Amino acid sequence: MIFLSTLPGVRAVKNLRVLFMGEMQRLQRYHIIAASLVVAVIWIGVLHFTDVDDVTSIFPLLLFLDATSMSITLIGVSMFFEREEHTLKALFVSPITKGEYMISKIIGNIVSNLQTLVILYLYAWFFKEINLNIFLLVFYVIVISVFHSMIGFLLAYRSKSFTELLTGVLKYMFIFLIPVVLEQVGVITGDLLTNLMYALPTKAALLLLNSTTNGVETWEVLYGIAYLIGLSLLLSVVIRKGFEEFVAKESGI
């Protein structure tokens, strides 16, 4: 058993478990989970006060808003607290890798997003009508969470203050989220604009979520998956380098 614990893979899994459990404990204690639940309650309110009984068509849009903006915010806020309390310094002089630290945060984000998905789905299942592929939805929420967690890291370590972090989140929403939502609800039309939307990762995210309910083309689903996973991998390389510099600046005695 002692020998097993010295193997790199086993060590990484053990560290990930400890970091993830710690992350969940802190998300709860710092009331970040509570804030996420409040947002879920707001989404339930939206579902409740919708005139239609069948909420299948608006369900992906609510999940889209949650999985994108909340993923960025959760990472940003939890890292902000760690910077503020200097616990990042303590973490990076303990036997963990930066990769383990980042993965534990991404898993925490996924759990939080899936929690919202389950709450909304249960509400829709019991009190409204809903007809979509829940397993695909879970998979797509994970893909979207991972990508937006990366954006969260990028904003968190580039922001010098909480205000700067929030400004970053708002900028992302204005540039990437709102245009896609406006197109979805029919405010933005025209071939040129709708074609340009495909450059936005948020468009890819919404396509994936929509594909669980209606006729999204197969190529659009494949594009969505490939685009988000590809961008996540690319961002992970960029973030890793920037993160090294961030740790050097934040750490030490």
- Interacting residues with other proteins (CB under 8 A): 5-6, 11, 15, 18-19, 22, 25-26, 29-30, 85-87, 89-90, 92-97, 245, 247-248, 251-253
- Would you say 188 and 179 are in contact if contact means Cβ atoms under 8 Å apart? yes
- How many C-beta atoms lie closer than 10 Å to residue 29's C-beta? 11
Q: How far apart are CA 50 and CA 57, in angstroms?
A: 11
**Exposed/middle/buried for residue 60 (C-beta within 10 Å: 0-12, 13-18, 19+):** buried
Q: How far apart are CA 248 and CA 89, in angstroms?
A: 9
Q: Which two tokens stand for residue 119?
A: 């709450």
Q: Which residues of 2-15 are buried (b: 16+ CB within 10 A; e: fewer)?
A: eeeeeeeeebeeeb
Minimum Å gap between C-beta 90 and other proteins is 4
Of the pair 57, 97, the CB lying nearest other proteins is at 97
Strand locations in 31-153 (E): none
Minimum Å gap between C-beta 28 and other proteins is 9
Any idea which residue has 């879970």 for tokens? 138
Minimum Å gap between C-beta 231 and other proteins is 26
Minimum Å gap between C-beta 252 and other proteins is 4
Of the pair 54, 85, the CB lying nearest other proteins is at 85
Of the pair 191, 241, the CB lying nearest other proteins is at 241
Q: Which two tokens stand for residue 218?
A: 């197969």
Of the pair 35, 216, the CB lying nearest other proteins is at 35
Q: Which two tokens stand for residue 50?
A: 């919708």
Of the pair 16, 180, the CB lying nearest other proteins is at 16
Q: First and final CA of the chain: distance in angstroms?
A: 35
Minimum Å gap between C-beta 22 and other proteins is 5
Of the pair 129, 245, the CB lying nearest other proteins is at 245
Minimum Å gap between C-beta 236 and other proteins is 20
